[in-house]
Amino acid sequence: MAMEATKNYTLKTDLVARMNEYMSRANATITEVARKMNISRTALSRFLSGKYDAENSKVEPAVADFLAEHGQSEIEPSVPMAAPKFYAGRDARDIVGLCTECQDHGKLGIVVGKTGYGKTHTLKHFARMQRVAYVECDDSMGCKDLLEAIEEALGIPPTTGSIYRKKQGIIQFFNVNRGYLLIVDEADKLINKYTQKKMEILRSIYGNNGSVGLVIAGEPKLETLIKGYLERFANRVDARTTLLGLSEKEVRDYLNGFPFEPDALEEMIVRGTNNKTGCFRLLARTLDNVLRVHRADGGDTITLDTILKASSMMML
């Protein structure tokens, strides 16, 4: 009986995913699809949102029949419309793994990587998870600014009074709401040879009985700054990862499905992997512009000339 229930759930999940994909690629609304299926918009909406019940028992077979009738060939474009919003390459997997470890076990982790390697993009992606607060730092931040940014990320009313009172309010929040992860990005901007007070505040918040995990991230100099000026902080670090950038195989995987001619593909690989300027950000921006030019010019393949036109729109 349990196995049968699992089978039904899997089938339904697959139908929901396929129907959402169909509507996305066909640029169709729930209302339009429901009309074609001869069911109510409400019934289809409830099914797609997981609120399926016995009263809507006709929805599941109707969805299955509709998808069988409207094959992928009708909606499959010759070229994907946009670059992938998130790519789970080696660096991204390492960041997600470190963040998960720190959140699950209340650990302190460090992520370092060059600008453009996808650090911030991946951290913001992970911050969509439950009980994760993300703060992006700035050179002009003072101690009070940092604490107010954390309060805002947590969605708690700002504590009035001194820096100490604000810090204690955040610590109290984490004591009551355990299992949180605090991500502090661009943390290298908080440290210099004249002051380390902001990082000491973070250490104090984290060091409160393991009630919260902490991940600090920044450019490669972050690790050097911590070792040089914050020995007590460095001694608390449980996990670290250094981003390596994209490999040739990852670039090919990222571009899979796009009709690049061989010399154009090689140019994109160089833009994603060369040691001086190659990075994920440049690759993604170039691909967005390449697709824009390709759609405007038409044609079956993406040529080197297409890339050169796209590059003229960018400041490299």
Q: How many domains, in total, are found in the chain?
A: 3
pLDDT at 9: 37
Same-domain pairing of 229 and 253? no
User: Does residue 52 fall inside a structural domain?
Assistant: yes
**Domain containing 271 — which CATH number?**
1.10.8
Same-domain pairing of 121 and 160? yes
CA distance 270 to 52: 49
Average pLDDT of the residues of the chain: 84
CA distance 199 to 201: 5
pLDDT at 315: 57
Do residues 156 and 169 make contact, with C-beta atoms less than 8 angstroms apart?
Answer: yes
User: Does residue 127 fall inside a structural domain?
Assistant: yes
Averaged pLDDT for residues 158-167: 93
pLDDT at 111: 97
Same-domain pairing of 236 and 255? no
pLDDT at 99: 94
Averaged pLDDT for residues 9-38: 72
Q: Hey, CA dihedral for 161, 167, 168, 172, is it positive or negative?
A: positive
Lowest mean pLDDT among 1-5, 225-229, 292-296: 1-5
Averaged pLDDT for residues 148-164: 94
pLDDT at 150: 97
User: Does residue 213 fall inside a structural domain?
Assistant: yes
Same-domain pairing of 280 and 232? no
pLDDT at 25: 67
Same-domain pairing of 265 and 168? no
Alpha helix ranges (H) inside 230-303: 231-234, 248-254, 262-273, 280-297
Tell me, what DSSP letter sits at residue 157? P
Among 39, 313, 300, which residue's Cα sits nearest to residue 287?
Answer: 313
Same-domain pairing of 132 and 211? yes
Instruction: Give strand ranges (E) for 113-194.
Output: 132-136, 180-185
pLDDT at 70: 77
Lowest mean pLDDT among 39-48, 89-98, 237-246: 39-48
Same-domain pairing of 141 and 273? no
Tell which of 74, 101, 127 closes a domain: 74
Same-domain pairing of 231 and 264? no
Tell which of 212, 242, 272 closes a domain: 242
Q: What is the pLDDT of residues 139-151, one digit of tens each?
A: 999 999 999 999 9
**Domain containing 44 — which CATH number?**
1.10.260
Give residue for tokens 């070792």.
227
pLDDT at 109: 95
Q: How long, in residues, is the chain?
A: 316
User: Does residue 37 fall inside a structural domain?
Assistant: yes
Same-domain pairing of 210 and 275? no
User: Does residue 132 fall inside a structural domain?
Assistant: yes
- Split at pLDDT 50, 70, 90, the class of 197 is very high
> Residue 266 pLDDT more than 60?
yes
User: Does residue 48 fall inside a structural domain?
Assistant: yes
Tell which of 200, 222, 242 closes a domain: 242
Do residues 140 and 149 make contact, with C-beta atoms less than 8 angstroms apart?
Answer: no
**Domain containing 108 — which CATH number?**
3.40.50.300
User: If DSSP codes are grouped into helix, strand and coil, which group holds residue 16?
Assistant: helix
pLDDT at 1: 34
Task: Say if residue 213 is exposed, middle or buried (CB neighbours under 10 Å; 0-12, 13-18, 19+).
Answer: buried
Same-domain pairing of 129 and 237? yes
Q: What are phi and psi of 70, to 5 degrees?
A: -105, 85
Lowest mean pLDDT among 22-26, 69-73, 216-220, 261-265: 69-73
- CB burial of 239-268 (b: ≥16 within 10 Å; e: otherwise) equals bebebebbeeebbeebbeebbbbeebbebb
- Split at pLDDT 50, 70, 90, the class of 54 is low
Averaged pLDDT for residues 161-184: 94
> Residue 74 pLDDT more than 80?
no
Same-domain pairing of 119 and 213? yes
> Residue 107 pLDDT more than 70?
yes
Q: What is the pLDDT of residues 87-104, one digit of tens each?
A: 888 999 999 999 999 999
Chain-centre distance for alpha carbon 64? 32
Please give the residue range of the domain that contains residue 258: 248-311
Look up residue 308 and give its two tokens: 């050169």
Of all residues in the chain, the percent with pLDDT exceeding 90 is 52
- Split at pLDDT 50, 70, 90, the class of 152 is very high
> Residue 182 pLDDT more than 50?
yes
Same-domain pairing of 177 and 148? yes
CA distance 199 to 51: 46
> Residue 6 pLDDT more than 60?
no
Chain-centre distance for alpha carbon 8? 31
Look up residue 277 and give its two tokens: 């300027």
Task: Provide the 10 A C-beta neighbour count for residue 294.
Answer: 22
Look up residue 274 and give its two tokens: 């060369």
